[in-house]
Amino acid sequence: MSYRSGFQALKWIAPAALLLLLGSGCSNRSMTGKIIAVEIPGRNIENLEGARIIEVDPEASRNKAVVLSKGFSSAASPSLSHDGRFLFFQGKKQDSDPWQIWMMDLQKNKFHQVTDLPEPCTHPVPIPDETVVFSRQRTVKEVVVNDLWRCGNDGCCLTQITHNPSMNVEAAILNEGRILYLSSQQYPDPRSPVLMVMRPDGTKSELYSPGCCGWSPVTGGAESADGYIYFISSGGRLSRVLHRRPLHTFENLSDGIEGTFSAVTPLPEGGCLVSYRPAPGKPTGLYTFNEGNGRPELVFQGDRDITDPVWIMAMDERPRILPSAVNPENPTGLLMSQDINHSMLPVHPGIAGDTMATSIRVSYLEGKQAVTEVEMDGSFYLKMDTDSPFRIETLNKAGETVRGPSDWIYLRPNERRACTGCHADPELAPENIQPLAVKKDPVEIYARMKESSN
């Protein structure tokens, strides 16, 4: 093991860490100011079989990692509770076990199993209301996907919160209380990953950032104190977007820097803690990085690749706990669009008829379809069953597809959603007018409950 002076950039944390240490004198153990990371046994940083969760003390004169996940054949994806006390991770006791969600009390060095399910459960993120969001694997149309689920820290109240046929992984909680996660459609055709955002109950799911310039996000995002979301994009690039305007503020921070990045954690006073491989064949280590200082500076390097660093410190403010409008007793939801012809997307090439759409086709994963006309102003208002993914196409009078199909959409029980158009700019506020469609009862389109009625 070797240690260099890169950690000097973090010395400002020492006074705050000392105060937290003094304030926790009645606790059995404090890890404030230390780093938790994942040590990968092979050279494939995406293969987590045999991975271990380690603790690194960057203040130690002789830097040495301590294995925290003793007793586990594999452990990965660490995520810290807002108070800095509980570590959530995916682990398996035996090689043949499916991944499950575990929780570790860092003060008492005690483990607790959160989930006990037949499918692999990965990438946990704790919510301040003592629940945890995680990914759970399933198969849709013979294609492997990952849904996001939520349960209590004791495993109770298990609830599925995403229903699109996609890989939904690497969730993180934002200070505002919403969940940011990495999503890539798998059915009917695989698509590049994008960052999505939603409320913790699964409502209001929407695109957050698709990346830019041909580079897609390949990890989930992490929020900084100064309002940026950091993530790794394709090719091992360290990237960020401004949280206030994530669709149009993509930055490649690693431009001109040799080597590749695989994980990033923003630090409280600026800069980041990153997993970085300086050159092919070199191991991935822990480094600090500040976009104004050039190259990353080494903090800790072992004999194996190290990724997913977590800085142990309580948040100054806990993330907001958002109220939920989900009502399981109401199995329907409402969807309204102000004008289906308001869109950023071009019409389908080669369309023979009118490019003005007059109706929509709703297609469900189960294969059922329904067509309904829209109002004169292009608006529609639908009542639909929930937790069932669907896509929408806009059609002209000849029945030709003008735009679409859309990405997969789903409604949670009792959810109300509205949009300005079909693939319209999500940053635009709708006009302050009442669409004609909402002056009537909603058109009922159901996949399971009963036959469609127009």
**Residue 420: what pLDDT?**
83
Residue 143: band (very low, low, confident or very high) from pLDDT cuts 50, 70, 90: very high
Residue 33: band (very low, low, confident or very high) from pLDDT cuts 50, 70, 90: confident
**Residue 71: what pLDDT?**
96
Taking only the tens place, the pLDDT of each residue in 55-104 is 999 887 566 899 999 999 999 999 999 999 999 999 999 999 999 999 99
Assigned fold of 5-311: Neuraminidase (2.120.10)
**Residue 24: what pLDDT?**
39
**Residue 430: what pLDDT?**
67
Whether the pLDDT of residue 259 is over 60: the answer is yes
Which of 379, 372, 392 has its CA nearest to residue 341? 379
Whether the pLDDT of residue 20 is over 60: the answer is no
Residue 419: band (very low, low, confident or very high) from pLDDT cuts 50, 70, 90: confident
Residue 423: band (very low, low, confident or very high) from pLDDT cuts 50, 70, 90: low
CA 50, 54, 58: angle at the middle one, nearest 5?
A: 150
Bridge partners of 443?
382
271: left (phi over 0), alpha (psi -120 to 50) or beta: left
Q: Are 353 and 373 spatial neighbours (Cβ–Cβ below 8 Å)?
A: no
Per-residue pLDDT averaged across 169-197, rounded?
97
Q: Are 72 and 93 spatial neighbours (Cβ–Cβ below 8 Å)?
A: yes
**Residue 64: what pLDDT?**
82
Q: For the chain, report the end-to-end CA distance as a whole number of angstroms.
A: 69
| CATH 3.40.50.1110 matches 332-445 | no
The domain spans of the chain are 5-311, 332-445
Residue 288: band (very low, low, confident or very high) from pLDDT cuts 50, 70, 90: very high
Q: Name the residue type at position 107.
A: Q
